[in-house]
Amino acid sequence: MWKDQVTRLPDFYSLCIDLPGHGLSSAVPWRSFDDAADKVAEIIRAQLPGRRVHVVGLSLGAYVGLTLMSRHAACVDHSILSGINVLPLPNLWFMDLLSYLMAPLLKTGFGAKMNTKALNIPTDQLEGYSQSLRQVSRQAFISAGRDASRFSTPANIADIATPTLLLAGEREHILVHNSTALLANMLPNAIARWAPNAGHGWPAELPGLFAATVRQWCSDRALPAELLASHPLRQAWKAMRA
């Protein structure tokens, strides 16, 4: 997914970071979002000393991105965060149990197929995505999932001045929709947009639109007109009532 985005954004210098417990960092234990954000900041400072970067995060990466802005604002120029939930989840015990049950399953062909189907991963990316799933450590999958399900907004969120674009697919869970709108009101320099007829993994579903969105936002230009500017579920509700 990210390799495709790098190809579509040749005018940017890209750092694709494997978070703790993932990819080539699978042997690095997942400890917390604070720890992950600190490690990302270390890489930024080592690779681009004295420079600020545009941070693009999807799902788990979006939580890390928001934490990075909270703890290392001087590293971040613009940010794009997609698919994040900051609202309380019901039945946390069940979510924890599900993580324990799914962790070994994801490394099987059947589990990978289920996951790629749920995220609408394109056919030409299936093998690479399945390999990425096999690399994720069981500890990271369980611990990061637990931390994400209990994530709350940083205490200093009102002081995070980074220009931030909050995104979600139109077909995402209502909690993600509501969190996207909520965070846009909490962060001083943020706006919310929705990808039309797309789900959680919309950078793979609509790669051209995602790349154009990254380029336009990070260049301070008008966002693609295809993006929805208002909460799609609320718009649908208004249409039904009308």
Query: Confidence band (pLDDT; 50, 70, 90) for 240?
Result: very low
Buried-exposed string 111-145: b where 16+ CB fall within 10 A, e elsewhere? bbeebbeebbbeeebeeebbebbebbbeebbbbbb
Predicted TM-score (pTM) of the model is 0.89
Residue 125 is assigned to a structural domain of this protein: no
Quick one: residue 59, left, alpha or beta (phi over 0 = left, psi -120 to 50 = alpha)?
A: left
**CATH number for the domain that contains residue 155:** 3.40.50.1820
Closest CA to 179 of 163, 196, 192: 192
Residue 142 is assigned to a structural domain of this protein: no
Q: Over 60: is that where the pLDDT of 214 sits? A: yes
Report the share of the chain in percent with pLDDT over 90. 71
Q: How far is CA 204 from CA 29, 122, 136, in A?
A: 27, 7, 19
Residue 137 is assigned to a structural domain of this protein: no
* Bridge partners of residue 191, in order along the sequence: 165
Q: Over 60: is that where the pLDDT of 43 sits? A: yes
Each residue's pLDDT tens digit, 84-135: 999 999 888 877 887 777 777 666 766 666 666 667 767 777 677 777 777 8
Structure tokens that stand for 34 in this block: 């604070």
Residue 19 is assigned to a structural domain of this protein: yes
What is the count of structural domains for the chain? 1
Spatial separation of the C-alpha atoms in residues 124 and 142, rounded to whole Å: 28
Structure tokens that stand for 6 in this block: 């790098």
Q: Which domain holds residue 226?
A: 2-89+150-241
Residue 118 is assigned to a structural domain of this protein: no
Residue 3 makes CB contacts below 8 A (sequence gap 6+) with 16, 128
Quick one: residue 182, left, alpha or beta (phi over 0 = left, psi -120 to 50 = alpha)?
A: alpha
Do 134 and 108 form a contact (C-beta atoms < 8 A)? no
What is the per-residue pLDDT for 113? 67
Residue 78 is assigned to a structural domain of this protein: yes
SS3 182: helix
Spatial separation of the C-alpha atoms in residues 99 and 144, rounded to whole Å: 10
Residue 170 is assigned to a structural domain of this protein: yes
Spatial separation of the C-alpha atoms in residues 71 and 66, rounded to whole Å: 9
Residue 25 is assigned to a structural domain of this protein: yes
Query: Could you please report the per-residue DSSP string of 28-92?
Result: SPP--HHHHHHHHHHHHHHHSTT--EEEEEETHHHHHHHHHHHH-GGGEEEEEEES---SPPS-H
Mean pLDDT of 225-237: 77
